[in-house]
Amino acid sequence: MPKMKTKASVKKRFKLTATGKVKVAAAGKRHMMIKRSKRFLRNARGMMILSDSDSRIVKKFIH
């Protein structure tokens, strides 16, 4: 039986913290930013922690 490969797309988009939580960049910041409010852009800076239900899916593909 061959080894399970890590998904390359997951490798590029997500990082794991030391405690095992999944970090991800904020969505909606690539283009058409002129119509987004300043508050949205401010709040979408940096990295965010995924919810437990979403991180469970991502962790399957990381390991």
Enter the tokens of residue 11: 């490798």
Q: Specify the CATH architecture of the domain 8-62.
A: Irregular (4.10)
CB contact at 8 A, 55 and 14 = no
The answer to whether the beta carbons of residues 48 and 27 sit under 8 Å apart is: no
Q: What is the mean pLDDT of each run of 10 residues along the chain (63 residues)?
A: 85 94 94 95 95 94 84
- Nearest residue to 9 (alpha-carbon basis) of 20, 24, 26, 21: 24
pTM, 2 dp: 0.76
Closest to 22 measured CA to CA, from 59, 60, 61, 1: 59
